[in-house]
C-alpha cells in the first residue's frame, strides 16, 4: 500500500506543480497584455486559458478521487497532507512530500497575487474607460454634484472673486 500511495502522491504533486508553473506564466503574459492594451495578445491567450482551466479541473477531480479512495481504505481523507502524514513512510520520503506540499502552497499563494494584480489592472481600466465615456457624454463639462441647473463653471471661483 505504501509505495502505491507515495508514487500517486508524488505524481499528483508533480503534475500540479507543472500546471501551476504554466498558470503563473500565463498570468504574467496576460498582465503584460493588459498593461500594454494588446488586444491581439489577449485573444491569443484565451485558448491557452481554456485548455489550462480544463486541465486544472481534471487535477481537482483527481485530487477528489484520491481522497475518496483514501476514505474507502480507512485513511484520513480531509486533505492530501493529512493522508501523507498517516502513511507509513520513511522520514526522507515524508520530508520530500512535505516539501512538495509546501512548494505547491507557495505557488498557489503566488497565483492568487498574480490574479489579484490582473483584476486590479482590469478594474482600473474599466474606471478609466467609464470616465472617458462620461467626458464624451457631457462634452467635457462638469455636472453639478447637488441640485439642478447648468454645468459648473470650470474656472476657479475663489481665485476669480479675490482678484
Cα–Cα distance between 100 and 29 in angstroms, integer? 26
Q: What are the CA-CA distances from residue 3 to residues 7, 8, 68, 84, 152 (Å)?
A: 6, 8, 18, 12, 77
- 77 confidence band (pLDDT: 50, 70, 90): confident
- 163 confidence band (pLDDT: 50, 70, 90): very low
The DSSP code for 76 is: -
What tens digit of pLDDT does each residue of 116-143 get? 999 999 999 899 999 888 888 888 777 6
Phi, psi of 146 (to 5 degrees): -120, 150
Give the model's pLDDT for residue 120.
94
Domain boundaries, the chain: 2-139
How many CA atoms lie within 13 Å of 89's alpha carbon, on the beta-carbon side? 22
Amino acid at each position: 500500500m505504501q509505495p502505491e500511495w507515495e508514487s500517486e502522491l508524488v505524481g499528483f504533486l508533480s503534475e500540479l506543480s507543472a500546471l501551476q508553473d504554466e498558470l503563473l506564466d500565463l498570468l504574467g503574459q496576460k498582465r503584460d497584455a493588459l498593461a500594454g492594451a494588446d488586444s491581439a495578445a489577449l485573444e491569443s491567450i484565451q485558448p491557452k486559458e481554456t485548455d489550462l482551466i480544463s486541465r486544472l479541473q481534471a487535477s481537482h477531480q483527481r485530487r477528489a478521487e484520491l481522497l475518496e479512495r483514501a476514505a474507502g481504505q480507512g485513511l484520513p481523507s480531509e486533505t492530501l497532507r493529512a493522508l501523507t502524514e498517516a502513511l507509513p513512510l520513511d522520514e526522507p520520503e515524508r520530508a520530500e512530500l512535505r516539501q512538495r506540499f509546501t512548494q505547491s502552497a507557495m505557488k498557489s499563494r503566488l497565483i492568487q497575487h498574480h490574479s489579484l494584480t490582473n483584476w486590479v489592472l482590469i478594474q482600473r481600466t474599466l474606471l478609466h474607460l467609464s470616465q472617458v465615456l462620461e467626458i464624451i457624454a457631457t462634452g467635457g463639462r462638469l455636472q453639478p454634484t447637488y441640485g439642478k441647473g447648468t454645468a459648473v463653471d470650470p474656472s476657479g471661483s475663489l481665485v476669480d472673486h479675490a482678484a
